[in-house]
Structure 1
Amino acid sequence: MIHGFGFLSLSASLVLPWALTGLVQGERITESLVKDVRQSPTDQVMPLPSRKLISQSSTATTYYVSGSGNDKNSGRTTSSAFRTIQRAANLTNPGDKVLIMNGEYKNTGGSGSVVSIRRSGRANAWIKYQAYPGHFPKIRHDTWNGILLSNGVSYIEIDGLEVIGNNANITLSYALSQKTNGSNPRTNGTCISIDGRNSSVRYINILNNKVNNCGGGGISVISADYVKIDNNTVFNNAWYSMYGTSGISFLKSRNSDNNQGYKMFVTRNRVYNNRNYVPWIQRGNITDGNGIIVDLSKQGANGAYRGRTLIANNITYRNGGSGIHAHESEHIDIVNNTAYLNQQSPELSKKGQLYAGYSNDVKIFNNIVYGVAGKNVNSSYMNKNVTYNYNLYPNGAVIDAKARGANDIIADPQFQNAPNGDFRLKGTSPAINRGYYWNDLKTDHAGNPRPAGGAYDIGAYEIR
C-alpha cells in the first residue's frame, strides 16, 4: 500500500482553483473539498489556554441572528437581529458571542459555505457561536460546507446548532453517476469543516451540535491542533461523496507546539448510520464510512503528530465501516466507548468494530464491542505497541487473536434496549465494575461521575 497525501489528478475540467482535495493513498478516509475564496492567513503563536474555563473581555459584544432578522440591522438586540450568521461572523472580535435564534440559514448564490469563520478569538477571549437559549436553529446547505473554519482561525466554539446537508435531495443512482465528479458540492459537501491545510487552525470546540445528512463528512478535521468534539449527534453522513468520508474524522493533525499530552478530544458523541455508498475515487471500491477515524497522524501536516488523542465515552452504531478506526496514526487512547453493529457495508468485514492498523502507541481499553455475525469485532494489523484489554465482547464474537486482552470479558453486555438506541447497562450486566481504572476519564457519556462504584464500568455508561 502507498500512503501519502496527494491531490486529485483529474482532467482540467475538474480542477478546482480554490479547493484542495486532501486525498490520501491507501486505506484511509479523507474529507470532501473545501471551496471558498482564500484570504491571507494571520498565523500568530498563541499561548496554551485552559480548556475548562473560557473567559471574555469586558468589552465583548453579543450579536443576535434570527430567521426573521435583517442584515441592515445593528445585530445588537433580539429585536434588531441580523438575518445571516455570516454578517455577524464578519464583525466578531475576541470575546464576542453570536446567539442564533430559530430559523433556517442557507447558502446563497455561489457561496462555498453557509458560514465561513475567519476571525479569531484569543486564549482568554474565545469567540462563541451558540443557539439562543431555548432555540433550535438549522443551517441547511447544498454547497461545500455548512460551517467552515479555515485560514488560521483559532479560539472558536460552535455550540448547540443543527447542520443539515443535501442527502434528502440526492438519489443513489444520481450519486453513482457523479462518482468521478470532484467538482459537485451537492454530493461531496461536508457539514462542519475544520481545515488547517492552508494555515494552522487550532483551539476549536464543537459542542452539542446535531450534524446530519451531508454527502461528504459529518465533522471533518484536517491538519488542525487542539480540537474538542464533544456531545454531538452525527448521523446519515458520508453517503454520496467520492472521497471516502466518515462521520467524525481527523486527518493529518498538525503540531502547533511540542506538547505531548492530550490535545485532541472526541468524547460523548453519538455517531450512527454514516456510511459510503459511492466508491472512493482512488481505490474504486468502498473503503470507509466509519463512525470515528483518526487517519495518517504519522504523516502530519508538519511531521508526525506528537500530541495525544482521547476517544472516550462515544456510542457508535450501525455505521458502514468501523465504529472507531485508527489508521497509520499514533498516541491515541480509545477508552470506554460502546461500538454496536457497525460494519454495515457488505464490502467491509475484516477491520472490525474497533480497528487499529499501521499504528503505534494506541491503547484500546474498557470498550463494549458488539459485532455483526460472521465479521471481526476487532482487528490489529501491522501495529507496534497497540494494546487491547479490559474490553467486553458478546458470546460467539470473531476476535482477532492479536487484539485479545488478558482481562477481556466474553458475555452479553445486557443493554437496556440496543435496537432502539438505548445502550445503558442493566443492573446485572457483567460490564459493571470490571473496567480498568483510567485516571484521566472522570465522567461517562451522560456526564455522570466515573467511577460510580468500586471500579470503572466497561462501555460508554457508568452505572454503579
Structure 2
Amino acid sequence: MVIQGFSLSAYLAIPVLLSLLAEGESIKVPLVENVHQISTKKEMLLSSRELISAQATPKTYYVSGAGNDQNSGLSTSSAFRTIQRAANLTNPGDTVLIMNGVYTNSAKAGSVVHIKRSGTAKAWIKYKAYPGHLPKIQHNTWNGILVSNGASYIEINGLEVIGNNANITLDYAMSQKTNKLNPLTNGNCINVDGRTNGHSRHIRIVNNKVHKCGGAGISAIESDYVTIDNNVVFDNAWYSVYGCSGISMLNNWNSDNNRGYKMFVTNNKSYNNRMYIPWIAVGKITDGNGIIIDSTRNDQNNSKLGAYKGYTLVQNNLTFNNGGSGIHAFLSEHVDIVNNTAVLNNQSPEINGGQIFAHTSSDVRILRNILYAFPGKQVNNNTKNTNVVYDYNIYINSSKVSVKGPRDIVADSQFLSKYPTLEKISGDWKLRLDKQNPPKRTYVEPQSAGFVCGTVTYRLQGKLIKVGCSR
C-alpha cells in the first residue's frame, strides 16, 4: 500500500485551529464536534463483506425501553426490555437492534451488557442502534458494555454509553483514591477484557458516543483484531485509581502470526479525558490521554503473552483538551500514527509529555500529523526510543520540539493564514497548496491481506493527485 504526499484529513483541522487562535488558548467543543474526518483506510470495508451469516436462519432480536423480557424479542412489538436478555440468546449471525430507551444495570450487576457469546468469521454478532433511534446505556457499575470470556466476532455500533461521573464529586473521588473496588468511581464505558476466561478477537466498536465514565472510555485489553472507528469519546478517566484514558489498547495479544495491520484506532474524536485521581500504582497523575497504545511488548508484570507481532494503525483522529497526551505509544512496537490532529492536550499540570509521541518504544512512525501545544509545553518527545521516525508533521506555536524530523515544519500562527486553503470541487474536498510545495513522501505500509482502503484527492499546484491504497 502506498500513500503519497501530505494527508487531506489532517488539513481539515486547520480551519479549527484558525478559530482556536482567534479564541485564544482554549477550545470550544462546538468548533470541533462537526469537523469531518475523512478515512483513507477502514477495516470496516473488509468486515462488511465478512459479516454475511453462514447460519441458515439468523435472528434479529429487538430491545426497547418499553419492552418486556417475557416477550419473544423477535419483533418491534414484542421487544425485550434489557439488552442482556438478547445477549444471552445470540448465536453466530444474529443481530440485536436496540430501540429508544435508557438501559441501566441492576443493583449487583457488573455491567449493563455482558457479551460472552461469539460469532464466527462469516457470521458476526452485531449490537446496533435501531435505525433512527438513540438508545442510551447508563451505568454506575464496572462496565457499561463488557466483552469477555473470549467472545469474538462482535460488533458494537451506534450506541451511547454514559458513566457515573455526574453523580460523583471530586472530594468523594479523592476519598476513594486507595479503593480499587469501588465501581462508582472506577467504571468503564466499553471494555474488551481478555485477561480472564479467554482472549477476544475480531471486535468492532464503531459510531458510538462514549462519555462520563470514571474509568476508561473505550479499552481493549489482551485482545486481537480490534477496530475502534468513528467514535466520540469524552469526559472519561476522571475518577478511577487505575490510570485510564479516553481510548486505550493494552497488552495486545497474538491470536496468530500475522504481521500486518490488526489493530485500528481511526476517525475518532477524543477530548476532555483526564485523570484527577493519582494512579494507585505510582501515586501520581500519569494518563488521561486521548489515545494510548500501551505495552504491546508485554514485558511487564511477568506477562507470558509475548511481544505483539501485528501492527497498530492510529489514523485520522482528532484529540484535544485531554489531561495527558493527545496520542502516544508507550512500551510498544509496530505502531503507525498517521494523519492525526492533536491540539492543547497536556491539560494536567503534572503532564508535559507532548501532543503526539512515542516513549520507550520501537518501530513507531509518526507521520503527517498536526500538533498544537500550550506555549512552554513540549509538543513531542523521543525518550528511550529506538527506530522511531518523526516526519512530515506540522508543529504550530511550539517552542519545545524535542525531536524534529527532516521534513517536519515548526510554524507560528501566521503559517495558518498563508499555507493551505480548502476548496470543494464536484462534491469532494480538495486541498489547494498554491503557496508552498511540500516534498513528496512515499509511505509503504505493512501488508494486510485482503485490505481495502478509500481514496481521497487533493489539488497540488494545479494537479489533482489521488491518495489511497487497495489490494
Matched, 1:348 2:354: no
**Structural mapping, 1:146-165, within 5 Å:** 146-165=144-163
Look up the SS of the partner of 2:280 in the other structure: coil
Q: What runs of 5+ residues in structure 2 fail to find an aligned partner?
A: 1-44, 418-428, 447-452, 462-466
Q: 1:336 is matched with which residue: 339, 347, 359?
A: 339
Q: 1:63 is matched with which residue: 35, 45, 61?
A: 61
Which residue is 1:372 aligned to? Answer: 374
Which residue is 1:458 aligned to? Answer: none
Range moving further from structure 2, 389-398 or 139-148: 389-398
Relative to the length of structure 2, the TM-score reads 0.80
Aligned pair in 2 of structure 1 residues 213, 81: CA closer, same or farther (>3 Å)? same
Look up the SS of the partner of 1:453 in the other structure: strand
Which residue is 1:398 aligned to? Answer: 400
CA deviation after TM superposition for structure 1 residue 355, in Å = 1.9
- Tell me the distance in 2 between the aligned counterparts of 1:160 and 1:211: 10
CA deviation after TM superposition for structure 1 residue 431, in Å = 9.2
Matched, 1:453 2:455: no
Residue pair 1:414, 1:426 contacting (<8 A) in 2 also = no
- Tell me the distance in 1 between the aligned counterparts of 2:255 and 2:223: 8
- Tell me the distance in 1 between the aligned counterparts of 2:347 and 2:291: 15
Q: What is the one-letter code of the residue matched to 2:60?
A: T
CA deviation after TM superposition for structure 1 residue 168, in Å = 0.2
Matched, 1:196 2:202: no
1:199-256 deviations in Å (ceiling 9; x for gaps): 1110000000000000000011110000000000000000000111000011111000
CA deviation after TM superposition for structure 1 residue 338, in Å = 0.1
> For the aligned residues, what is the CA RMSD?
2.4
Residue pair 1:112, 1:144 contacting (<8 A) in 2 also = yes
Which residue is 2:164 aligned to? Answer: 166
- Tell me the distance in 1 between the aligned counterparts of 2:355 and 2:318: 11
1:62-112 deviations in Å (ceiling 9; x for gaps): 000000000000100001000000000000000000000000000002000
Matched, 1:381 2:383: yes
- Tell me the distance in 2 between the aligned counterparts of 1:430 and 1:66: 55
CA deviation after TM superposition for structure 1 residue 290, in Å = 0.5
Range moving further from structure 2, 297-306 or 153-162: 297-306
CA deviation after TM superposition for structure 1 residue 395, in Å = 3.8
Aligned pair in 2 of structure 1 residues 66, 440: CA closer, same or farther (>3 Å)? farther
CA deviation after TM superposition for structure 1 residue 440, in Å = 5.7
Residue pair 2:431, 2:459 contacting (<8 A) in 1 also = no
**Structural mapping, 1:114-129, within 5 Å:** 114-129=112-127
Q: 1:94 is matched with which residue: 92, 95, 100?
A: 92
CA deviation after TM superposition for structure 1 residue 437, in Å = 4.4
* Bigger fraction of residues in helix: 2
Matched, 1:312 2:311: no
Residue pair 1:365, 1:436 contacting (<8 A) in 2 also = no
Look up the SS of the partner of 1:452 in the other structure: strand
Look up the SS of the partner of 1:377 in the other structure: strand
Residue pair 1:151, 1:196 contacting (<8 A) in 2 also = yes
Instruction: Among all aligned residue pairs of Structure 1 and Structure 2, give the percentage whose two residues are the same amino acid.
Output: 59
Q: What is the one-letter code of the residue matched to 2:153?
A: Y
Which residue is 2:224 aligned to? Answer: 225
Which residue is 2:140 aligned to? Answer: 142
Residue pair 1:128, 1:159 contacting (<8 A) in 2 also = yes
- Tell me the distance in 1 between the aligned counterparts of 2:81 and 2:404: 55
Look up the SS of the partner of 2:181 in the other structure: coil
- Tell me the distance in 1 between the aligned counterparts of 2:350 and 2:107: 38
Aligned pair in 2 of structure 1 residues 192, 430: CA closer, same or farther (>3 Å)? farther
- Tell me the distance in 1 between the aligned counterparts of 2:335 and 2:76: 44
Kindly indicate whether structure 1 or structure 2 has the higher relative contact order, using CA contacts under 8 Å at least 6 residues apart.
2
